Amino acid sequence: MKREKSRECTFLLLFSNDFHAANEVAKQLDMLIENQNDINENKEDPIIAKEADREYITARVIDIEKNIEEIDKKINEVAVGWSTERMSKVDLTILRLAYYEMKMDEEVPQKVAIDQAINLAKKYSGEESSSFVNGILAKLY
């Protein structure tokens, strides 16, 4: 699985954690992949997650959840006029993932994390969200 797709799966799982128990990450990943393949417009390009992909995504979600207080604290420090409680859940989830990739994951270059976060905001959030996400991440960079 490409990193971009595993990042998107990580984002979707993080977002769904507000609605599901933390110990259901693996089950939610299976359901997510099945659902994404059902709605995938290009049936010739299904999401195929090997065991290593599943482990990678699951480990990232668990690690982000484990560090959520620290991540939210850093976001709150730079989000002038905003707090994590006031942000849309989609934007907050994108920021959490991006911060994790920028500061806690040595495999992802910071600029890539920012670029991919902006792409997720464009795909999953409101019209102005990509600018909002970019502004917050620029302060964290």
All residues at 6 or more sequence positions from 51 whose CB lies less than 8 Å from its CB, including other chains:
none
Do 134 and 94 form a contact (C-beta atoms < 8 A)? no
Model confidence over 85-110: pLDDT tens digits?
A: 999 999 999 999 999 999 999 999 99
The yes-or-no verdict on residue 139 having pLDDT over 80 is yes
Helices and strands per DSSP (H, E), number in the chain: 7, 0
Q: Which two tokens stand for residue 52?
A: 């290593």
pLDDT of residue 1: 77
Do 90 and 125 form a contact (C-beta atoms < 8 A)? yes
pLDDT of residue 45: 61
The yes-or-no verdict on residue 67 having pLDDT over 90 is yes
3-state secondary structure of 137: helix
- Compute CA 95 distance to the chain's CA centroid, rounded to the nearest angstrom: 7
1 compared with 69, residue with greater pLDDT: 69
3-state secondary structure of 49: coil
The fraction of the chain above a pLDDT of 70, given in percent, is 84
DSSP letter at 16? H
Helix runs in 87-128, H state only: 89-103, 110-124
The yes-or-no verdict on residue 24 having pLDDT over 80 is no
